[in-house]
Amino acid sequence: MVRLLLGTLVASAIYGFSIGSAHSLTYASWNLVKFPLMIIITGSVCSVSYYVFSRFVSKELLFKDVQMMSLRAYHGISILLASLSPVSFFLARTLKQPDETSLNEYPFFLGLNVVLIAISGSVALSRQAWDLLQRHGLQLRRSILTVLLWLSLSLFVGGQCAWYLRPFFGISTIKADESPFILGTTPDFRGDTNFYAAVYHIVFPPPLEADYFRRGKPLS
Amino acid sequence: MKQIPTPEEGDQQQVTERPLDMPDLPDLDGEGRIGEDSVSPFTDEEIRSFFIPHKTIECVLGNEDRLMKTVDEGLGLSKIIAMLFLASVVFAIPYGAAPPARGLWKIAVLYTGSMMICLPSLFVFGQYLRLRLSLAETLVVSLLITSVSAMFTLGFFPIIWFIDYTTGPGEGDATVTGLSFTLLVISFVLGIAHMIRSLKASGRFVETSVPATISVWLFLLAFITYRMASVVGVISW
């Protein structure tokens, strides 16, 4: 269990470093702590829910089983992301940075990393579903349902956790020394103060304010 | 393995030596109903252990077939009712303590209070329509909803606390309240789903009058719970 935990922390730190390097070495260094922190917080906050949902779907899984399986899932995601970190690092160092006229390739880089995380998450969770089938003898339908419920919970909590711990990527128009370690509840460039409002405004975008490129800094 | 006792032999007798979490319980048939002969009721020792929190969760979630068999045979009914009632109240406290509810008692009153208001109607209508559920059995069936809902709120409590802690004030408060309400609705719906699943496991959901009566009663319970949410201040539009 300790090895799994250590592996998760190291692998997620590597990936965190690669995405932070899109901005600066400062951001990359911060992500060595912040990305593993995000994984640990999300797993801890969801742990009881994982168990209650598992019991709801199937009687075979005990609390310890569920915690080990969720740790294995996070370990899997971290390892897969770490393997993609060279790709992310290369793109981070070559993307066209935002300026005062446009966000340029920043949204693409952001979106691509969301896709990479989604792919890694899906692969790791598919393997967990397979493990549920093989090790615990769950029916296919129940295995898939359990894993889908875990995925939904993780996205629900992980999204907000990532929001609170942001910036992971950082916009180059804001210098590293102007940005805090975490932005917490500071409104983003659209004025949103939480992950769910931000997602809503991605689907239904409001008009941007004139000084949007300066936002993402703490209020003075 | 010892013999399964008749109901007259009371709830003191050991029924089986099988542990609670033994995985090779009887296979589900196509509709998820358990064959009656293959399910054994809980032993008295097991029922006593249900007052330990994680054992309560293991008893109610995932062992509904054995729980309903125990209720059917009238074994340890008072202890089961006490356990379900305690679970309904105690597991709901953390979510009530967390924002935006900010009241230890609020979620317990929301679920258990609403159910207690609606309980007489289920019992009386059940008797009138010959559902053959005694008052104790009706109470168990109703408490299954509230206890399972409370268990889910226990799981959701760290989540809603975390979201509230990490969300900015102002418009963010409305988002947290909305999310909290959504999680409470999810808990409630899953509680109802588990109650129906338990009734199916016991074979009581086969008679046509049972689903109809329960459905109408659930509609009433949902309405009263919604009203209770406004009264205790869990939601405010």
Residue of A nearest to B168 (CA): A185
- The pLDDT assigned to B194 comes to 93
Do residues B228 and B191 lie in contact, with contact meaning Cβ atoms separated by under 8 Å?
no
- Inter-chain CB proximity A193 and B63 less than 8 Å: no
Chain B residue numbers touching A156 (CB-CB < 8 A): 159
Yes or no: say if B130 and B209 are a contact pair by the CB < 8 Å rule.
Answer: yes
- The predicted structure's pLDDT at residue B190: 95
Residue with more model confidence, A27 or A129: A27
pLDDT recorded at residue A130:
80
Categorize the per-residue pLDDT at A51 as very low, low, confident or very high, splitting at 50, 70 and 90: very high
Distance CA A59, CA A52 (A): 11
Closest chain B C-alpha to A162 CA, distance in angstroms: 10
Residue A157's closest chain B neighbor by CA? B159
Q: What percent of chain A is predicted at pLDDT more than 70?
A: 93
Q: How would residue B74 be classed by pLDDT, with cut points 50, 70 and 90?
A: confident
pLDDT digits (tens, 9 = 90+) for A155-195: 899 989 998 998 888 777 777 777 788 888 888 777 788 88
Burial group, residue A212, by CB count within 10 angstroms (0-12, 13-18, 19+): middle
User: pTM higher than 0.95 for the full model?
Assistant: no
Report pLDDT for B36: 47
Q: Measured between CA atoms, how close is B157 to chain A, in angstroms? A: 9
CA dist., res. B119 & res. B20, Å (int): 30
Q: Specify whether the CB–CB gap between B80 and B70 falls below 8 A.
A: yes
For B101, which DSSP code?
T
Q: Are A184 and B171 in contact (CB under 8 A)?
A: no
pLDDT on residue B35: 46
Instruction: Name the one residue in this structure whose structure tokens are 């995601």.
Output: A77
Q: What is the mean pLDDT of residues A38-62?
A: 89
- How much is the pLDDT for B48? 82
Q: Under an 8 A CB cutoff, do B152 and A52 touch?
A: yes
Biggest CA pair distance of chain B = 64
Compute the mean pLDDT over every residue in chain B, rounded to the nearest whole number: 80
Determine the average pLDDT of the residues in B150-177: 87
Question: Is pLDDT of B160 > 90?
Answer: yes
Q: CA torsion B216→B217→B223→B226, rounded to 10°? A: -140
- What's the complex ipTM? 0.71
